[in-house]
Chains A and B, each alone.
Chain A
Amino acid sequence: MLRLDSLSKRFDDTRAVSDLSLEVREGELLSLLGPSGCGKTTTLRMIAGFETPTSGRVLLAGRDVTALPPQRRGVGMVFQSYALFPHLDVFENVAFGLRARGAPAREVAGRVAAALERVDLAGYEKRSVQALSGGQQQRVALARALAPEPPLLVLDEPLSNLDAALRERTRAQLRALLREVGITAVFVTHDQEEAFDLSDRIAVLDHGRLQQLGTPEELYHEPANAFVASFVGHANFLPGRLSNGPGGGDEAEVAEGVRWPVRLTTGIAPGPVRLMVRPEDLRLGPPEERGDGLGARVVDRRFAGASSHYRLRTGQGWELVVATPGAAPHVEGEVVVRLADGAVVHAFPEAP
């Protein structure tokens, strides 16, 4: 449906996007996720046609649209600020795209009504958009973008202007609506939870480069690098040493006599490495059962229903977060941190 072909964009001396290639399938919901300044908004603006790539191509349904202005791409867009026309009422806002494309008047009324119906705003036609609540404005923006039935919808931080409680509810509605319409959509967000909730696949960007493209599960369980691991979910990082022993290097020495099984990432060599383990892959035990565990002290504990979250300081001075099942008995003081059964730690090259 949408293909980005080694897309790059430079502003003066800064590289906003570097050699980005990815493909969005028909009907797929894909998020561009990353911290601010990672190039995700620039990428979105290149898809919509507001920025011209320095090099590379944008292909829409197999057609090269790189040189086309936004007017002629037919991409629907929901802006972060919604960009509703303040001088037009709800009806005229939603009708704007239809009229701009020269739809006959009879058809306009019907399609506007259908679009408003879909976002649950039937009867709001004559309202001023400025008199609407934030959530309603967001839905008008969505109806306006969907009314011309674009093949592709792009959404720039569509929920960031809503307060937390409303955001969660709106997120669920948005997902249901997009599924129902069956549209292909690309989101931009800096919120990992939002990306997980809304999309089939996620492209994680940092410094203008694609770090990993995959399903939420893949990103969480098989992060390609330390950046993805830390950006998606909580990650505990520890220094370690990859042994080139008889096991062929699938074990790492975490501390003197403590060896944990590792999953290797590409390009890793024996020697000092950066280890990452998720909080729920760690278990706590009484200090007597030292075995292959790390001695640590509980700094802080927070109960969260399904799990309990412990903040620990190990004997080496590292800080670890451990999530234990909520039913597990609480512990205090000195403990031993072990790897949960069947769990692995990830080994990444040492930070340069």
Chain B
Amino acid sequence: MKLRVPRGVWWTAAPIILVLFWLVVYPNAFLLRESLAGERGWTLGHYARFLGSASEREALWNSVWLSAASVLGAALVGVPLAFLFTRFDFPGRRLLGGLAALPVLLPPLVGVIAFDFLYGEAGFLARGIQALFGLDSPPWRFTGAWAILVVHAYTMYVYFFMFASAGLARLDPAYAEAGAALGASRARVLRRVTLPLLGPALVGAALLVFMTAMGSFSAPYIFGGGFRVLTTQIYASKLNGDLAMAAVETAVLAAVSLLFLALLQRYESARTYTGASKGTTAAPPRPLRSRGRRIALSALAWVLVGFLLLPHATVLLVSLVPEGTWTTQLFPPVYSLANYRSLFSDPSVAEPLLNSLQMATLATAANLVLAVAAARLLARRSFRGRGLLGALVVLPWALPGTVLAIALASTFSVHQPLAGRFVLVGTFAILPLAYFIRNVPLVTRAALSSFRQLDPTLEEAASVLGASRFTALRRVVIPLVLPGLAAGALLGFVTALGEFVASILLYTPRDRPISIAILSELRAFDFGGAAVYGVLLIAAMALVLLVGYRAVSDGSPRL
């Protein structure tokens, strides 16, 4: 189908591009300027200061090697899991395969506190060992690089699991069969045929994990201890008031992230092998002949998935512990719904929840408007600036939350209306704005895929049958686009609900969001109070994914 080029297209395209420039490009450019601004004129002095400082160099090096190690850790968990669930058939395969993707349900901060409850020095495991051996102090402190690495591997293996599963499902079994027919052993086929063919999927996952790990803030912030990485350095510099240094660190982090985004996009556009024959069907999972093996594999899968679900269960369990009742016992002695009741009875407990709901609603509404307008343009129209718009809507995805927050903080802290700068820092508006920007890629992508799947001849069919543009919109376009759009918007909404990274740099004490409340409960050792918010966030995420999955699977037919 030819793309139509109507004259009025710039009337919608120009405002969208301008808004994105103003909110995404401009603050980052401003940040860059800040990193280069000296007392008089331009200077590289701040960069020299960055490179000259041993602790800054150490933070940069730590970020890089920790991210590389996170890739390795996530791959070691995710890839075998993908093989287990796509290649072998055993009782419970489908259910467990679905559950294996569950860490997606953990908002970053909630995942981190769950790990603290489980493996931290006051966590169940440490208490158990302490009780077992009668130790005076906890057997370990869950801090430093290893702790961060464990959390990263746990939260990020999902990328490898999903990419490798999808890759395996698309892989033409004829390749492996050809290898086997040529006399290669099973191990050889795996090593020489299957894994190389999965290459593109694995590299994609690796780049994504690297990017995510570089930008990760929650785990290093909570578990880092003395271990510095770039994101936590930025936070520290900001707290110390060294804004120039924060700008330099942010610029470095953004540069690394953008480099990886560029790599990822080049990789995605490169040819990927799927199958030589058309209508490729995946190899069916191999049924295991021996009964013993089948049971063993099933048991292994249950144990693995149980392990993956432990953090969720822990958060739920801890949420039932009233404040001050759990001290040195292995398991909490008292369980009650007191923490949940205080959500309704104590306004100070309910307030962060209401704040977050309000901010996430505002951000999502704005996301929806922008996403529908941008997606319609990107899916249907060809115009000058289309590539630019496409790049602008993915850009925020590449920028870690810390980068975005610092950029917003330095741009929107003065009142210069003519320069497009307003005082938003310290006001209620700054967080919804940050959430909006962070979710632009997510919601726009959902809208775009909905509009791309909408066959334009359906609208023509409606009009030739006599339907007005409004009727066609109401009876054909909206019903077909809505499920995907709603799923994307809801996902954006719950992401905003639990957002932590940008929030901690930008929040105002008057309008604390949920994540900040979790943090302060944690600091006050009210684990139950923190866990209640965690449970709510997990539940919201689960609900949204369930609704989204159902809407996409049976509400909107795919042609």
**A interface vs B, CB < 8 Å?**
11, 48-50, 69-71, 73-77, 79, 81, 83-87, 96-97, 100-101, 128, 130, 144-145, 148
Q: Which residues of A contact B466 (CB under 8 A)?
A: 71, 74, 97, 100-101, 148
**Knowing that A76-B464, A96-B467 are A-B contacts, what are 20 other residue pairs whose CB atoms are under 8 Å apart, sorted by A's residue number?**
A11-B2, A49-B464, A50-B460, A70-B460, A71-B467, A73-B464, A79-B457, A81-B455, A83-B457, A83-B460, A84-B461, A85-B458, A85-B475, A86-B480, A87-B557, A97-B465, A100-B462, A100-B467, A100-B468, A101-B466
B556 at the A interface (CB under 8 A): yes
Is A96 in contact with B475, judged by CB distance below 8 angstroms? Answer: yes
Is A69 in contact with B461, judged by CB distance below 8 angstroms? Answer: no
Q: Whole-angstrom distance between the alpha carbons of A100 and B469 in the complex? A: 11
B543 at the A interface (CB under 8 A): no
Q: How far apart are B484's CB and chain A's nearest CB, in angstroms? A: 12
Q: Whole-angstrom distance between the alpha carbons of A81 and B455 in the complex? A: 10
Q: How far apart are B400's CB and chain A's nearest CB, in angstroms? A: 39
Do A87 and B479 contact each other (CB < 8 Å), given the known contacts A71-B468, A100-B471? Answer: yes
Is A77 in contact with B461, judged by CB distance below 8 angstroms? Answer: yes
Q: Which residues of A contact B559 (CB under 8 A)?
A: 86
Contact with A along B527-559 (1 / 0, CB 8 A): 000000000000000000000000000001111
Is A48 in contact with B464, judged by CB distance below 8 angstroms? Answer: yes
Q: How far apart are B362's CB and chain A's nearest CB, in angstroms? A: 31
Q: Which of A48, A49, A83 has the most CB of B within 10 A?
A: A83
B476 at the A interface (CB under 8 A): yes
Q: How far apart are A60's CB and chain B's nearest CB, in angstroms? A: 13
B325 at the A interface (CB under 8 A): no
B329 at the A interface (CB under 8 A): no
B43 at the A interface (CB under 8 A): no
Question: Can you identify 12 A-B contacts, CB atoms within 8 angstroms?
Answer: A50-B460, A70-B460, A71-B467, A76-B464, A79-B457, A83-B458, A84-B461, A87-B557, A96-B467, A97-B466, A97-B467, A100-B467
Q: Whole-angstrom distance between the alpha carbons of A50 and B462 in the complex? A: 12
Q: Whole-angstrom distance between the alpha carbons of A50 and B1 in the complex? A: 13
Residue of B whose beta carbon sits closest to that of A74: B466
Q: Which residues of A contact B556 (CB under 8 A)?
A: 87
Q: Whole-angstrom distance between the alpha carbons of A48 and B459 in the complex? A: 13
Q: Which of B458, B463, B464 has the most CB of A within 10 A?
A: B464
Q: How far apart are B479's CB and chain A's nearest CB, in angstroms? A: 5
Contact of A100 among B2, B465, B479 (CB under 8 A): B465
Is B557 in contact with A83, judged by CB distance below 8 angstroms? Answer: no
Q: How far apart are A185's CB and chain B's nearest CB, in angstroms? A: 14
Chain B 319-340 residues near chain A, CB threshold 8 A: none
Residue of A whose beta carbon sits closest to that of B5: A12
Is A79 in contact with B460, judged by CB distance below 8 angstroms? Answer: yes
Is B557 in contact with A81, judged by CB distance below 8 angstroms? Answer: no
Q: Whole-angstrom distance between the alpha carbons of A74 and B520 in the complex? A: 67
Is B463 in contact with A85, judged by CB distance below 8 angstroms? Answer: no
Do A87 and B457 contact each other (CB < 8 Å), given the known contacts A144-B465, A148-B465? Answer: no
Is B475 in contact with A130, judged by CB distance below 8 angstroms? Answer: no
Q: Whole-angstrom distance between the alpha carbons of A128 and B555 in the complex? A: 12
Please give me the 9 A-B residue pairs with the lowest Cβ-Cβ distance, nearest first.
A97-B465, A86-B557, A83-B461, A100-B467, A83-B457, A100-B466, A70-B463, A77-B464, A101-B466
Residue of A whose beta carbon sits closest to that of B454: A86
Residue of A whose beta carbon sits closest to that of B469: A71
Chain B 17-46 residues near chain A, CB threshold 8 A: none
Q: Which residues of A contact B463 (CB under 8 A)?
A: 49, 69-71
Q: Which residues of B contact A49 (CB under 8 A)?
A: 463-464
Is B457 in contact with A96, judged by CB distance below 8 angstroms? Answer: no
Q: Which of A81, A84, A100 has the most CB of B within 10 A?
A: A100
Q: How far apart are A89's CB and chain B's nearest CB, in angstroms? A: 11
Residue of B whose beta carbon sits closest to that of A73: B464
Q: Whole-angstrom distance between the alpha carbons of A33 and B5 in the complex? A: 28
Is A87 in contact with B480, judged by CB distance below 8 angstroms? Answer: yes
Q: Which residues of A contact B2 (CB under 8 A)?
A: 11
Chain B 432-466 residues near chain A, CB threshold 8 A: 455, 457-458, 460-466
Residue of A whose beta carbon sits closest to that of B460: A50
Q: Which residues of B contact A50 (CB under 8 A)?
A: 460, 464
Q: Which residues of A contact B558 (CB under 8 A)?
A: 86
Q: Whole-angstrom distance between the alpha carbons of A79 and B2 in the complex? A: 16
Q: Whole-angstrom distance between the alpha carbons of A97 and B467 in the complex? A: 7
Q: Which residues of A contact B467 (CB under 8 A)?
A: 71, 96-97, 100
Q: Which residues of B contact A145 (CB under 8 A)?
A: 465
Q: Which residues of B contact A130 (CB under 8 A)?
A: 557
Q: Which residues of A contact B471 (CB under 8 A)?
A: 100
Is A75 in contact with B464, judged by CB distance below 8 angstroms? Answer: yes
Residue of B whose beta carbon sits closest to that of A50: B460
Contact with A along B470-496 (1 / 0, CB 8 A): 010001100110000000000000000
Q: How far apart are B294's CB and chain A's nearest CB, in angstroms? A: 35
Q: Which residues of A contact B457 (CB under 8 A)?
A: 79, 81, 83
Q: Whole-angstrom distance between the alpha carbons of A81 and B456 in the complex? A: 11
Q: Whole-angstrom distance between the alpha carbons of A85 and B472 in the complex? A: 11
Q: Whole-angstrom distance between the alpha carbons of A97 and B472 in the complex? A: 11
Q: Whole-angstrom distance between the alpha carbons of A85 and B457 in the complex? A: 10
Q: How far apart are B473's CB and chain A's nearest CB, in angstroms? A: 12
Do A85 and B461 contact each other (CB < 8 Å), given the known contacts A74-B466, A148-B466? Answer: yes
Q: How far apart are A142's CB and chain B's nearest CB, in angstroms? A: 13
Q: Whole-angstrom distance between the alpha carbons of A75 and B467 in the complex? A: 12
Q: How far apart are A188's CB and chain B's nearest CB, in angstroms? A: 14
Q: Whole-angstrom distance between the alpha carbons of A144 and B476 in the complex? A: 15
Residue of A whose beta carbon sits closest to that of B453: A86
Q: Which residues of B contact A74 (CB under 8 A)?
A: 466
Q: Whole-angstrom distance between the alpha carbons of A74 and B475 in the complex? A: 19
Residue of A whose beta carbon sits closest to that of B480: A87
Chain B 231-275 residues near chain A, CB threshold 8 A: none
Q: How far apart are A93's CB and chain B's nearest CB, in angstroms? A: 9
Is B475 in contact with A70, judged by CB distance below 8 angstroms? Answer: no
Q: Which residues of A contact B462 (CB under 8 A)?
A: 85, 96, 100
Q: Whole-angstrom distance between the alpha carbons of A77 and B459 in the complex? A: 13
Q: How far apart are B24's CB and chain A's nearest CB, in angstroms? A: 33
Q: Which residues of B contact A81 (CB under 8 A)?
A: 455, 457
Chain B 112-135 residues near chain A, CB threshold 8 A: none
Q: Whole-angstrom distance between the alpha carbons of A83 and B475 in the complex? A: 14
Q: Which residues of B contact A48 (CB under 8 A)?
A: 460, 464
Q: Whole-angstrom distance between the alpha carbons of A71 and B468 in the complex? A: 6
Q: Whole-angstrom distance between the alpha carbons of A317 and B59 in the complex? A: 81
